[in-house]
């Protein structure tokens, strides 16, 4: 199997993804399943945005939806470092990757997170 070829995606894997993303939007869940089946990294932004939306306070979600890749995670969205760790843990579980805490230090915007995770998967 090639290094970037996706691993076989079983019904059990799909059930795990659905369980870990159960409070995310259906679009997020379907994007995660599509990524895991095909390795299509164009799904990553949908997954990242869905996970961020899930962990945010409901009153802050409009800022996420109105924002763009320059939206700052802490300053604009109010996501603290502990919540960011939760986000990364969900991303790791969903995308079947590992991220070191040291790698998170430079991630300040939504675009930083999308670019970092997409690059990690490449």
Give me the active site residues, please.
Answer: 80
The dihedral through the CA atoms of 18, 21, 22, 27 has a sign that is: negative
Burial 56-78 (b: 16+ CB within 10 A, else e): beeeeeeebeebeeebebeebbe
């Amino acid at each position: 199997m090639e290094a970037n070829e996706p691993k076989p995606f079983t019904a059990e894997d799909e059930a795990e993804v659905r369980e870990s993303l159960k409070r995310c939007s259906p679009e997020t869940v379907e994007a995660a399943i599509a990524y895991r089946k095909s390795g299509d990294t164009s799904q990553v932004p949908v997954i990242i945005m869905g996970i961020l939306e899930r962990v945010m306070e409901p009153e802050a979600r409009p800022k996420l939806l109105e924002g763009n890749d320059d939206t700052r995670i802490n300053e604009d969205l109010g996501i603290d470092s502990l919540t960011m760790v939760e986000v990364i843990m969900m991303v790791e579980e969903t995308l079947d990757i590992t991220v070191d805490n040291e790698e998170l230090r430079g991630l300040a915007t939504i675009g930083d997170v999308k670019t970092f995770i997409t690059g990690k998967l490449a």
